[in-house]
């Protein structure tokens, strides 16, 4: 099996785990509590810019082990992260006794499954990379409508149940990147989900699964794992007026944004994709405060000021009322607007959603300028003009 990289010492000798006061939270129906902060292995430190596969493995292992020593007990990775190197690095980081102190979550690359036997092929390779006999939480990766239909057509849930029966997987879940209606559909389609992983932050309360999805999953007894709590780091890099608001408050954006999520009772853990040791230490300090922290009234007001400032970047005032739908040509008008507005805050995420999560018929490029929708819009949005703008914006 995989071995420790040469010259990479364990960090447990620092005995910081004895001093930790990490906040623990319920994990759905399980009789186990998860650390408020989880370690997301998608944004590990690099040895050079511009190539996600050039991971600084020694520093990554040092960071993961320090996080575990300070109380983190949930580590999340996936098949494609860092050019398929993340799982192997996590496996090596969890040697020398660290594996027994954490739960591992990784994800099936559903889009690569072309025949039923592929499920076992990918799972067995992931077990090898992670150097473990069993994966604690196995997720179907990045579900949206087309991918959900593919999962069902290939009977992947049945394959997962067999893997749970032979103890290669303990629990099953999914990560999600679509709208709330599909989120509920996926949850209701299978009685034995353990967890759902969603994008969620104070700017995304109505984006994708959103607050409605978070509450629905929690009501159904699922653990809710939050990804993109800082919108890929964009919340921590404010510009212009938004930067001034944060500086005048004397508060750190990451700390306030994370504690805003921990104030949601349905949240089990937050995944942070940390790329520097300082981020590990700062986020763990925020997690420690989450046990008895509600945001103060002043901090809630700060969030509202920041949110209002961000909304000024959104040039299409769509409320997603749906009066413009259905489009006779198949466009998803509100979702086009939502993703365009998101791209104003997080360009990479907006572009990824538009290019990967839309069927071609739903994209702005397919607008026929028939004009049927515009008289129906309560906000009087010039929909046809904005579809052209969205098409230009995403380069289609």
pLDDT per residue over 120-162, tens digit each? 999 999 999 999 999 999 999 999 898 999 999 999 999 999 9
Rounded CA separation 138/120 (Å): 12
**How does the average pLDDT of the chain come out, rounded?**
90
The answer on pLDDT for 1 being more than 50 is no
List, for residues 259-302, the tens digit of each pLDDT value. Answer: 999 999 999 999 999 999 999 999 999 999 887 667 899 999 99
Lowest mean pLDDT among 69-78, 231-240, 274-283: 231-240
pTM of the model: 0.82
pLDDT of residue 19 exceeding 60: no
Query: Could you tell me the two tokens for 253?
Result: 């954006």
With tokens 């420690």, the residue in question is 288
Q: Dihedral angle at the C-alpha atoms of 94, 169, 119, 95, nearest 10 degrees?
A: 10
Residue 341 has what pLDDT? 84
* pLDDT reported for residue 314: 67
Give the Å distances, CA to CA, from 208 to 78, 109, 229, 231, 383. 21, 20, 13, 13, 21
The number of angstroms, rounded, from the C-alpha of 293 to the middle of its chain's C-alpha atoms is 23
Quickly count helices (H) and strands (E) in the chain.
Answer: 15, 10
Q: CB–CB of 75/25 below 8 Å?
A: no
The predicted-structure confidence for 192-220, as pLDDT tens digits, reads as follows: 999 999 999 999 898 889 999 999 999 99
Give the whole-number percent of the chain exceeding pLDDT 70.
93
For residue range 352-366, list pLDDT tens digits in order: 888 887 888 899 999
Reported confidence tier of residue 20, pLDDT bands at 50, 70, 90: low
Strand intervals (E) in the chain: 24-27, 30-35, 37-40, 74-76, 103-108, 135-143, 169-176, 195-199, 223-227, 267-272
Q: Residues 223, 216: contact at Cβ < 8 Å?
A: no
| pLDDT beyond 70 at 7 | no
pLDDT value at 17 more than 70: no
Q: Of 75, 66, 135, give the one whose Cα is nearest residue 272.
A: 75
Contacts of 90 (CB under 8 A, 6+ apart): 41, 64, 75, 77, 104, 130
Q: How confident is the model at residue 315 (pLDDT cuts 50, 70, 90)?
A: low
Nearest to 261 by CA among 298, 294, 301, 220: 294
Hey, what domains does the chain have and what are their CATH numbers? 12-302 (3.20.20.100), 333-393 (no CATH)
The answer to whether residue 319 scores a pLDDT higher than 80 is no
pLDDT for position 76: 98
Question: Would the pLDDT of 11 be above 60?
Answer: no
Residues 6+ apart with CB under 8 A from 291: 21, 23, 36
Q: How far apart are CA 9 and CA 110, in angstroms?
A: 36
pLDDT tens per residue across span 327-349 = 999 999 988 998 898 888 778 88
Please give the pLDDT value at position 51. 83
Q: In the prediction, which pLDDT does 222 show?
A: 98
Report the alpha-carbon distance of residue 338 to residue 320 in Å, rounded.
Answer: 8
Q: What is the DSSP letter of 218?
A: H
As a 3-state breakdown, the chain gives helix, strand, coil percent values, each rounded to 5, of: 45, 15, 40
């Amino acid at each position: 099996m995989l071995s420790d990289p040469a010259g990479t010492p364990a960090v447990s000798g620092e005995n910081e785990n004895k001093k930790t006061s990490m906040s623990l939270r319920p994990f759905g129906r399980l009789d186990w509590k998860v650390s408020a902060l989880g370690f997301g292995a998608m944004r590990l430190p690099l040895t050079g810019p511009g190539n996600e596969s050039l991971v600084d493995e020694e520093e990554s292992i040092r960071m993961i082990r320090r996080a575990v020593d300070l109380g983190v007990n949930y580590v999340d990775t996936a098949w494609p992260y860092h050019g398929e190197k993340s799982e192997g690095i996590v496996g090596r980081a969890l040697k020398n006794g660290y594996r027994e102190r954490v739960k591992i979550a990784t994800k099936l690359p559903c889009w690569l499954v072309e025949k039923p036997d592929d499920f076992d092929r990918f799972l067995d390779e992931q077990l090898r990379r992670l150097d473990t006999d069993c994966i604690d939480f196995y997720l179907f990766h990045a579900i949206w409508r087309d991918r959900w239909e593919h999962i069902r057509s290939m009977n992947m849930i049945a394959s997962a149940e067999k893997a749970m029966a032979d103890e290669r997987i303990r629990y099953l879940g999914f990560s999600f990147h679509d709208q709330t209606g599909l989120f509920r559909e996926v949850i209701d389609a299978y009685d034995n989900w353990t967890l759902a992983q969603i994008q969620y932050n104070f700017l995304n309360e109505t984006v994708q699964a959103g607050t409605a999805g978070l509450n629905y999953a929690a009501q159904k007894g699922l653990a809710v794992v939050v990804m993109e709590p800082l919108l890929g780091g964009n919340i921590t890099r404010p510009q212009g007026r938004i930067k001034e608001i944060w500086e005048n408050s004397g508060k750190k954006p990451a700390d306030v944004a994370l504690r805003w999520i921990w104030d949601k009772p349905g949240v089990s853990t937050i995944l942070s994709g940390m790329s520097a040791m300082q981020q590990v230490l700062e986020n763990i300090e925020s997690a420690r405060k989450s046990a008895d922290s509600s945001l103060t009234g002043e901090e809630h007001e700060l969030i509202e000021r920041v949110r209002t400032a961000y909304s000024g970047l959104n040039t299409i005032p769509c409320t997603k009322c749906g009066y413009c739908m259905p489009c006779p040509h198949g466009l998803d008008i509100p979702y086009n607007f939502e993703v365009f507005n998101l791209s104003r805050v997080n360009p990479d995420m907006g572009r990824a959603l538009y290019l990967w999560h839309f069927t071609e018929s739903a994209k702005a490029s397919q607008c026929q300028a028939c004009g049927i929708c515009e008289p129906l819009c309560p906000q009087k949005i010039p929909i046809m003009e904005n579809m052209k703008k969205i098409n230009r914006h995403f380069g289609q």
